[in-house]
Amino acid sequence: MGASELNKQAPNIFVWLLLLGMPFWLPAIGGYTELGTRAVVLGLAAMSLNFLLGYTGVLSFGHAAYFGLGAYGVGMTIRYLMPSTIVGILVGTLVGTLAAAIIGPLIIRLRGVYFAMVTIAFGQVFFFIAFRWNSVTGGDDGLSGWTRLPLDFGFASIDIQHNARAFYYFVLVVFALSVGAMAWLLRSPFGRTLIAIRENEQRARFLGIPVDQHIWISWVISCCFVSVAGALYALLNNFIDPRALYWSQSGDFVIMAVLGGMRSFWGPLIGAAIFVVLQDYLSSQTENWMSFVGLFFVLVVLFFPRGVLGVIRRKVTS
């Protein structure tokens, strides 16, 4: 690897070193392992949204629906069908992805605020189903009475049920597989086509690109990975309630992506980490913690439109 290639890969290496060592350095600065796990899970959700928003140029306020479907999928699988963490994640991901694939053709012709509003509407449908179907989902009380289970490989078992550090590294493996797949897709001709659609949809149509089909595929991929994040989020808490499906959760994902920096690969992860840390600290100090997060978000949008990662890049290159 040459010097130029090493410099190009330095940010990626730095991020992975931070993630790999997080259970060790985070407690040293006053954090705890579960906080790091939450940051990674929500970072995956924000990066999934950014796949659609930052690289395709389509804003969705309904991603919480598929985040919640992934969460309910894993919880209901473990409680009602099969006590298996891996099977639960697969089922949760499949449920969220299928729902997105079915809804996609109904909304892909819309653009701008119309697309965003329709995604909210569909998301609220799933929210009210979870809220009202008390006998299955637990309604407003949430789905409880289940827990994540150890990973049993026959010849060995990993206790992610009681060992917070082991669960963190399990989440990190799933995160690595997911972001690796996203990075590969974005570097492929398909990913370059998405960027072309984002930059100039009309010109992309003139070039013969099936724009609506590409947006549908991008939508399904984005919702697939956010479903994975939802499943991990439910496993982290051993609990899920309808708030995970509410439109405000989608707003949090958008805030994370914008805070860290849209149109950048690692920006949403940085935004999620900032959001999670601010939420954890401020919520212990005041009930109005969201007001302070909102103020911070407004300041970032006004003065640093490229997000925190954009500021860091500008400082490094200047």
Is 305 a residue whose pLDDT tops 80?
A: no
Residue 29 pLDDT? 85
Q: When comparing pLDDT for 186 and 156, which is higher?
A: 186
Whose CA is closest to 278, among 267, 290, 270, 268?
Answer: 290
Residue 316 pLDDT? 63
Average pLDDT over residues 89-107: 96
Is 30 a residue whose pLDDT tops 80?
A: yes
C-alpha to C-alpha distance for 259 and 295, rounded to whole angstroms = 12
Is 5 a residue whose pLDDT tops 90?
A: no
Whose CA is closest to 103, among 167, 60, 57?
Answer: 60
Quick one: tokens of 124?
Answer: 């609220």
C-alpha to C-alpha distance for 124 and 131, rounded to whole angstroms = 10
Over the stretch 236-251, which tens digit does the pLDDT of each residue have? 999 999 999 998 899 9
Which residues are CB-contacts of 115 (< 8 A; sequence separation ≥ 6)? 58, 59, 60, 107
Average pLDDT over residues 164-180: 96
Q: Is the dihedral of CA 183, 106, 138, 286 positive or negative?
A: positive
Classify residue 140 by its DSSP letter: G
Amino acid at 221: I
Whose CA is closest to 167, among 152, 147, 179, 150?
Answer: 150
Residue 286 pLDDT? 83
Q: What angle do CA 184, 99, 237 make, to 5 degrees?
A: 80
Average pLDDT over residues 249-272: 92
Top CATH class, 3-317: mainly alpha
Average pLDDT over residues 89-94: 97
Quick one: tokens of 165?
Answer: 């550090």
Kindly report the number of other CB atoms within 10 A of residue 232's CB atom.
29
Confidence band, pLDDT 50/70/90 cuts, at residue 317: low
Rounded mean pLDDT of the chain? 91
Domain-by-domain residue ranges, the chain? 3-317
C-alpha to C-alpha distance for 201 and 209, rounded to whole angstroms = 9
Confidence band, pLDDT 50/70/90 cuts, at residue 214: very high
Q: What is the pTM of this model?
A: 0.94
Percent of all residues in the chain with a pLDDT value above 90, rounded to a whole number: 70
